[in-house]
Amino acid sequence: MGEILLQLKGISKHYGENQVLNDVSFEVEKGQIVSLLGENGAGKSTLMNILFGMPVIHSTGGFSGEIFLEGERVDISSPVKAMELGIGMVHQEFMLIPGYSVAENIKLNREVLKDNVVSRILGKDYKTLDIKKMNSDARIALDKLDVGIEEYTKVEGLPVGYMQFIEIAREIDKKNVRLLVFDEPTAVLTESEAENLIKAMRVITESGISIIFITHRLDEVISCTEQVTILRDGALVANKKTSETNIVELAELMVGRKIESLKNSEENRAMEMNDVILSMKNYKVGMPGELVKGIDLNVHRGEILGIGGLAGQGKIGIANGIMGLYPASGEVLFNGKPLNLNKPIESLKRKLAFVSEDRKGVGLLLDEGIDINITVTSIQVNNRFLKKYGFFSQLDLGTIRNYADDMIKMFDIRCTGPDQKTRRLSGGNQQKVCLARAITLEPEILLVSEPTRGIDIGAKKLVLDALIDLNRNKNMTIIMTSSELGELRSICDRVAIVSEGKLAGILKPNDSDAKYGLMMSGKTDIPKEVV
Amino acid sequence: MMSQKIKNLLVKNVVTIVFVLLCIFGIIASEQPLPFIVKELITRIGRNSFLVLSLIIPVIAGMGLNFGITIGAMAAQIVMIFAISYGATGFSGLILCIILSTPLAALFGYITGRVLNKTIGQEMITSMIMGFFANGLYQLLFLFLVGTMLPIGNENFLIPGGVGIVNTIDLKDNVMYAVDSVWTIKLPYFLGIFGVLGAIGTGYMANKHKKSENKILRSRLYFYLGLCLSTIVFAVVIQSTVNLYKNFEIPMVTFAFIAIIGAFNILIFKTKMGHDFRTVGQDKHIAHVSGINVEKRRILSIMISTILAAWGQIIFLQNLGTLNTYGSHVQISTFAIAALLIGGASVSKATVGQALLGVILFHTLFIVSPMAGKNLFGNAQVGEYFRTFIAYGVIGLSLGLHAWKTFKAQQQKDKVDII
């Protein structure tokens, strides 16, 4: 048992009504690599924000619990304070300036300065940069990591793999650093680069620095950490020694059982699995942050297909690409005929409808009434709800209003009337308006992204029930993308798991937690004991 | 490979190249004697360079082209009008103006900077509108407040009736040429001194970097060395033959001011402050995360720019000899920015060399275009139209090009992401 460096005791945090962390405690020993594991929304980033004294924590009422650093209670009130205490962070998105040299990036805002005539009179701001010393310091840090790049080359144009190392070099160049947090550092790296990184992490710990390693790649957790802490829904699930656990157990603990009791009647409907309505081949989408890097996937007529996976892995990109909202490539057949990608109007005309995950940005005209919101796409695409006079046409307001009234009844939208501005509606009701608009197009396939994000539990159930109803009674094929596995498993016939822009596999709703957990962390070769 | 390189070089410098060609064409078409053009040009370099140089720091700090230098010019004119009315004359009077205008310009710059921090991403249009707004206040001051609430030292400056400042103020008897005439030397001597000093400097640098890996730097140094040596030869030729050039006077103090500000603009980026400007200009978010006070740096960059603009306007006016109370400041930002852009700068990149080259090209065109217009179209007015057209056209073109390049880069990035 080594010396304890960091100790978190009983950390709890609320965002308003929402408890995001509940009595979490864990310890990090000196020179140890500890992995923090959990799904999206498990509370990992909140915990790290607390550790860094981020303003978002303190502006929302602070947190309860205590933090000890080498046995001493510390109050981390700001990122600067965290830095002073020797806590460093290697960011997931690179904090590098492309136009600067490697050394300049490593020494960003910690430049080595030397005096000159002017600075002696006017102060620190006028000191000259000591480029030579900066370069040699950077060299030392880079050598420690065994990275072969020249310190004076510009970051611009370097391979992504190196950028991570520059970030790390920046942290270890800070003289007092005691604890480093790596936030999903291997997510953007190739396998060999990731191996190098893990090697570098070992080198760092040898000098007594501890590392908190946030990742979702379970095999990396097993191979390089000594201790694993698993969070789920804001609570601590387990603190385990890595040597005493295995990949399957970790996957199980991470996902946990949380299937809602919504389950749609008949287990595993007998599906006709040969009538393909939509097929994707080598399908790629350039949606920033949600890249799809080549997927082959068939969607069957009449099914509800779920698309799951961790955030940033590309699941969101699939539906957005099909609707032409982000540049996409590859072969997509709809009803046997190729779908012209990158043209939203074509997708809409061919009877594909989309309920976007970005409700307020893409989904709604916030300052228009419910009636216009429900009908606007049909007006544009199908020329419905219009009165025609030769070359001119006019909105048929009467029909629109009546139609909106019907929809409000059908979906039970709580509002003051069809002309109420959608900005004033609650999240759940806004979502229903989006759904109503999508089905007004009478689509063959309904694509729904994150349908229950940010809405309360009651409304969640209504939305999911509505989806099942559309599927069963109107024969709509539904592709539902969601971060909530429980939700997917409760209404879908099949669940496709996307990891790192690729299809990891397709699972049945009643497959085991461990299987889901392993696939989400990118393992396609499931160990036998799980199956 | 080589042809690709040349093509890239041409595309990158297309604006400058077009203007070099336009200048050559204009000089030929105007049928003006070359000595006349050179003489005019020397005057205009002295007059305008300072203002153009005041634009560089905000560009590097990522705030685009500072149309707000108009506000600095107003600060200068406010101080000059009051100071001169109370009897400031000559070189010492002008230095007084420079000293007094500094805190005023700093204050104006601070206010501008605060506003620009609230409108991140829209700095250029905001600074332009700030200029218009400030012009309103400026007119209020000089058309209404002076003579009613504020005293003025010289009754002749007031519009008959006692309220408001007259339209034009003659500087002939007080500060005209106050800086220019302190010390002048003849052109060949100037070129000679310039060449020798330059040759010694670059020679020293070239020797120091003889073994350096940096081939580009070395070849550039040798190029400069060659340029300096040929300047010396040129000076000797002028001096030893019969021509008009050898009597041209160079205003040494004005040029020294320009040289100092040019050096300042280069040296500042070797200090902590300048490095922070660059960091902020490259990426505000990263700068913030690494602990740089982004807002403070942005305000500071605008303050420096505004102060330099005020000084620049004072130098501009002492050379021009008349102060147009309600007009002198109005167009300076447009013309200074046009000159900078013609020199090859862009919204996000500018150097001292580009500023000086831009001044030379822009003003050559200014000198020759009326006569060229007259010769080609029988009407000098056409040339006048042409140069106004150029000033606005080049700004529009540059903004358009910048938007296009950003769009292309983004598109390229998206493409790479997919593949």
Each residue's pLDDT tens digit, A256-280: 755 444 444 445 565 666 788 999 9
Q: Is the pLDDT of residue A183 over 80?
A: yes
How far is the C-alpha of A167 from the C-alpha of A323, rounded, in Å? 37
Query: Could B292 and A109 be called an inter-chain contact, meaning their C-beta atoms sit closer than 8 Å?
Result: yes
Q: Is the pLDDT of residue A523 over 80?
A: no
Mean pLDDT to the nearest integer, A302-311:
88
B305 in a structural domain: yes
Mean pLDDT to the nearest integer, B327-349:
90
Residues of A in contact with B269 (CB under 8 A): none
How far is the C-alpha of A437 from the C-alpha of A363, rounded, in Å? 9
Closest in A96, A129, A291 to B275, CB measured: A129
Mean pLDDT to the nearest integer, A68-77:
88
B91 in a structural domain: yes
**A190-218 tens-digit pLDDT:** 777 788 888 888 888 888 889 998 887 78
Q: Delineate the domains of chain A, giving CATH numbers in brackets.
A: 4-85+178-245 (3.40.50.300), 253-351+443-531 (3.40.50.300), 368-442 (no CATH)
B347 in a structural domain: yes
- Answer whether B178's CB lies under 8 Å from B90's CB: yes
B15 in a structural domain: no
Q: Is the pLDDT of residue B318 over 90?
A: yes
Cβ of residue A113 closer than 8 Å to a chain B Cβ: yes
Query: Could A95 and B291 be called an inter-chain contact, meaning their C-beta atoms sit closer than 8 Å?
Result: no
Least confident stretch, A271-280, A339-348, B81-90: A271-280
Query: Could B286 and A127 be called an inter-chain contact, meaning their C-beta atoms sit closer than 8 Å?
Result: no
How far is the C-alpha of A264 from the C-alpha of B265, rounded, in Å? 71
As a whole number, the mean pLDDT across chain A is 84
Cβ of residue A188 closer than 8 Å to a chain B Cβ: no
Q: What is the pLDDT at residue B419? A: 46
- Which of B212, B268, B290 to mutate: most A Cβ within 10 Å? B290
Confidence of residue A429 (pLDDT cuts 50, 70, 90): confident
Mean pLDDT to the nearest integer, B91-119:
95
Nearest alpha carbon to residue A304 among A245, A257, A363, A262: A262
- Answer whether A408's CB lies under 8 Å from A415's CB: yes
Pairing mode, strands A210-214 and A33-37: parallel
Closest in B282, B290, B418 to A284, CB measured: B418
- How far are the Cα atoms of A140, A227, A281, B267 from residue A135, in angstroms, in the given order? 9, 36, 48, 20
Q: Is the pLDDT of residue A84 over 90?
A: no
Q: Is the pLDDT of residue A2 over 80?
A: no
How far is the C-alpha of A486 from the C-alpha of A506, rounded, in Å? 15
How far A97 CA lies from chain B's nearest CA (Å)?
A: 7
Residue predicted with more confidence, A224 or B112: B112
Closest in A80, A126, A329 to B271, CB measured: A126
Q: Is the pLDDT of residue A387 over 70?
A: yes
**A3-50 tens-digit pLDDT:** 888 888 888 888 776 778 888 888 888 888 999 888 777 788 888 888
- Answer whether B354's CB lies under 8 Å from B367's CB: no
Which residues, 6+ apart, have CB-to-CB distance to A192 below 8 Å? none
- Residue A260, Cβ neighbours under 10 Å: how many? 15
How far A522 CA lies from chain B's nearest CA (Å)?
A: 20
Q: Is the pLDDT of residue A129 over 60?
A: yes
Cα torsion through A446, A450, A452, A455, rounded to 10: -130
Q: Is the pLDDT of residue A282 over 80?
A: yes
Closest in A108, A285, A286 to B279, CB measured: A108
Query: Could B279 and A96 be called an inter-chain contact, meaning their C-beta atoms sit closer than 8 Å?
Result: no
Distance of CA A409 to the CA centre of its chain: 35
How far A326 CA lies from chain B's nearest CA (Å)?
A: 10
Query: Could A127 and B289 be called an inter-chain contact, meaning their C-beta atoms sit closer than 8 Å?
Result: no
pTM over 0.90, yes/no: no
- How far are the Cα atoms of A406, B369, B389, B397, B398 from residue B404, in angstroms, in the given order? 47, 30, 22, 10, 10
Q: What is the pLDDT at residue A259? A: 47
B276 in a structural domain: yes
Q: What is the pLDDT at residue A271? A: 62
Q: Is the pLDDT of residue A515 over 90?
A: no
**B41-82 tens-digit pLDDT:** 999 999 999 999 999 999 999 999 999 999 999 999 999 999
Residues 398-437 of A with CB under 8 A from B: none
Number of structural domains (chain B) is: 1
B169 in a structural domain: yes
Most confident of A238-242, A438-442, B99-103, B404-408: B99-103
Q: What is the pLDDT at residue B77? A: 95
Q: Kindly identify which residue of chain A lies nearest to residue B290, measuring between CA atoms.
A: A109
Query: Could B414 and A286 be called an inter-chain contact, meaning their C-beta atoms sit closer than 8 Å?
Result: yes
Q: What is the pLDDT at residue B118? A: 93
Closest in A99, A111, A328 to B282, CB measured: A99
For A243-323, strand residue ranges (E) read: 276-285, 292-300, 304-308
Q: What is the pLDDT at residue A265? A: 45
Which residues, 6+ apart, have CB-to-CB distance to A159 below 8 Å? none
Report the run of H or E that residue B33 belongs to, with start and end.
none
Confidence of residue B325 (pLDDT cuts 50, 70, 90): very high
Size of interface A-B (CB pairs under 8 A): 63
**B234-280 tens-digit pLDDT:** 999 988 888 888 888 889 999 999 999 999 999 999 999 999 999 99
Q: Is the pLDDT of residue B418 over 80?
A: no
- Domain of residue B345: give its range: 33-409
- Which of A84, A125, A155 to mutate: most B Cβ within 10 Å? A125
Residue predicted with more confidence, B3 or A376: A376
**A147-170 tens-digit pLDDT:** 888 888 888 878 777 888 888 888
Write out the residues of chain B at the interface with chain A, using a CB-CB cutoff of 8 A: 270-273, 275-276, 279, 282-283, 286-287, 289-292, 414-415, 417-419
- Which of A81, A84, A109, A325 to mutate: most B Cβ within 10 Å? A109
By CB atoms closer than 10 A (0-12, 13-18, 19+), residue B150 is exposed
For A366-483, strand residue ranges (E) read: 386-389, 392-395, 445-449, 477-481
Q: Is the pLDDT of residue A255 over 80?
A: no
Cβ of residue A286 closer than 8 Å to a chain B Cβ: yes
Nearest alpha carbon to residue B113 among B268, B271, B277, B261: B277
Closest in B289, B292, B414 to A95, CB measured: B289
B262 in a structural domain: yes
Q: Is the pLDDT of residue A236 over 90?
A: no
Least confident stretch, A250-264, A346-360, B102-116, B342-356: A250-264
Closest in B272, B282, B289 to A111, CB measured: B272
Query: Could B417 and A288 be called an inter-chain contact, meaning their C-beta atoms sit closer than 8 Å?
Result: yes
Residues of B in contact with A127 (CB under 8 A): 271-272
Mean pLDDT to the nearest integer, B352-376:
90
- Answer whether B346's CB lies under 8 Å from B14's CB: no
Q: What is the pLDDT at residue A55? A: 78
Closest in A104, A125, A285 to B273, CB measured: A125
Q: What is the pLDDT at residue B312? A: 95
Residues of A in contact with B283 (CB under 8 A): 97
Mean pLDDT to the nearest integer, B160-166:
89
How far is the C-alpha of B334 from the C-alpha of B320, rounded, in Å? 18
B23 in a structural domain: no
Nearest alpha carbon to residue B334 among B6, B69, B59: B69
As a whole number, the mean pLDDT across chain B is 89
Mean pLDDT to the nearest integer, A461-479:
88
Mean pLDDT to the nearest integer, B198-223:
82
Query: Could A109 and B290 be called an inter-chain contact, meaning their C-beta atoms sit closer than 8 Å?
Result: yes
Q: What is the pLDDT at residue B414? A: 62
Q: What is the pLDDT at residue A261? A: 45
